Amino acid sequence: MDKKELSAQATKAEFVKSIHHWLMNTLKQNGKEEYSDCFTIEGSSIMCQLPADYFNLYSIPANTKIEMKFISKKS
């Protein structure tokens, strides 16, 4: 089977999708599937709108949003 060659942008997009997929599986395995909707793919980032009860030992300020941004670089 021949593999399709990806551009740098397409490689990054596939990587972001794979990380998001892993994150969804991890939430499910850890019994935290209710948080799945908090994580969305936006361009080359995974965005998370953290709910106030996300951490057991900490309170979180309302409307805290975390961005996991991915960039591609050539060596």
Count up the domains in the chain and report the number.
Answer: 1
Entry pTM: 0.82
The answer to whether position 63 is within a domain reads yes
Domain range enclosing 37: 12-25+32-69
* pLDDT tens sequence across 19-67: 999 999 999 999 989 999 999 999 999 999 988 888 889 988 888 899 9
The answer to whether position 3 is within a domain reads no
The answer to whether position 52 is within a domain reads yes
The answer to whether position 36 is within a domain reads yes
- The 3-class SS string of 6-72 reads CCHHHHHHHHHHHHHHHHHHHHHHCCCHHHHHHEEEECCEEEEECCCCCCCCCCCCCCCEEEEECCC
The answer to whether position 5 is within a domain reads no
The answer to whether position 7 is within a domain reads no
The answer to whether position 2 is within a domain reads no
The answer to whether position 40 is within a domain reads yes
